[in-house]
Amino acid sequence: MTVTAGDLAREPVRLKTALSRAACTTVRGSVRLSPDIALGLVAFNSPYLFGGKALRSQLTCGACHAKEGPSGAAVRLRLRAPVPDLALLGSEIDVAAFVSRAVEYEFDGPPLPARTARALSALTRALAPYADPEANPCEVDGASLVAIGLRLCAAQAAAAHPDAEELAFVRDSLRFVLGELAESTSYEAPAALIERTNRALRAADLHGLGCGTPAHLLQLATRWDAAGHGRHFVVEYSRRGIRE
C-alpha cells in the first residue's frame, strides 16, 4: 500500500508568537496589549482569514511566518519564494494592503475587514525578529493566546455596540486554537479547561451574537493564564473607556 501525503497525520500548527520587548510594556506584572495588537495576534493564528480553500488546509500567517519554520499544513507547501521575517520589513510596505490583496487575489477569500487588516499591520510592527538577541523574548504561547482572545470577546460582549463580525471571527479562531492545543504533543493541554472553553464558545453559537457573559469569559481567561508558561497579558482599552 502506498502512503500519500493525505494519509499522513497532520502536525498541529505551532502557536508561539514572539513580540519585541518594546511591544511588551509590563505594568504591575501584566503585559498591556492594545486592542489592535490583541486582535492581530488572534488573526495571525487564525485560518479564518483566507476563505474556504485555505480554511480546509488550516493555513494561518503564523504557520508560514514563524521563527521555527512552517508548521501544520504549511509544511507541505512548495512556496515560490522564501518566507520573509516580518519583523525586518521596511516601513515602506503597507502590510494591511498587502494582506488584503493576498487574501482576495491569491486565496480567493472574502474581503478582509479593515479593522482586521489594521490589526495585522499593528501586530507586524510588534513582532520580534527571528534572530532576536534579547535573552528574554516576550512570547505569546497557545494558552496565552486563548486568554487574550477571551478578553477580546469579553470586552466586545460588554460594549454598548458590540462588533458582531469581530466577535464571530474571534470565537471561531479560538475554537481552532483550542483544537490545535488539544492535538499538541509538546504542550500538556488541560483537557477539562479546553472542554469548558469550547462549551462556552459553542453555547454562544446557538444564541447568535456574543461568546458568553463577560464575567464567565474573564474567569476562563484567568484559568488560561494559569495554564500557560508565559506572561499574563491584558487588553487595555484606555481611551475608549472599556475596562476589564
Q: Which residues of 164-198 are buried (b: 16+ CB within 10 A; e: fewer)?
A: eebbbbbbbbbbbbbebbeebeebebbeebbeebe
* Subset of 34-53 contacting ligand HEC (CB under 6 A): 49
Set of cell numbers at residue 120: 495585522
Among 84, 203, 209, 215, binds ligand HEC (CB under 6 A): 84
d(CA 190, CA 127): 28
Is-contact 228 144, C-beta < 8 A?
yes
Scanning 3-11, 81-89, 142-150, 166-174 for contacts with ligand HEC by CB under 6 A, the matching segment is: 81-89
Residue 156 burial class via C-beta count within 10 angstroms: exposed 0-12, middle 13-18, buried 19 and up: buried
Among 1, 5, 9, 79, binds ligand HEC (CB under 6 A): 79
Is-contact 119 40, C-beta < 8 A?
yes
The contacts of residue 89 (CB under 8 Å, 6+ apart) are 95, 124
For ligand HEC, the closer of residues 123 and 200 by Cβ is 123
| H/E element, 19 | strand 17-19
**Which residue's CB atom is positioned nearest to ligand HEC?**
61
The contacts of residue 109 (CB under 8 Å, 6+ apart) are 49, 50, 51, 52, 54, 103
* Subset of 86-115 contacting ligand HEC (CB under 6 A): 86, 89, 93, 95, 98-99
Scanning 77-85, 146-154, 175-183, 236-244 for contacts with ligand HEC by CB under 6 A, the matching segment is: 77-85
Under the criterion CB under 6 A, does residue 120 sit at the interface with ligand HEC? yes
Under the criterion CB under 6 A, does residue 83 sit at the interface with ligand HEC? yes
For ligand HEC, the closer of residues 19 and 218 by Cβ is 19
Under the criterion CB under 6 A, does residue 122 sit at the interface with ligand HEC? no
The distance of closest approach from Cβ of residue 124 to ligand HEC in the complex, given in angstroms and rounded to an integer, is 6
Interface residues with ligand HEC (CB under 6 A) are 49, 59, 61, 63-65, 74, 77, 79, 81, 83-84, 86, 89, 93, 95, 98-99, 120
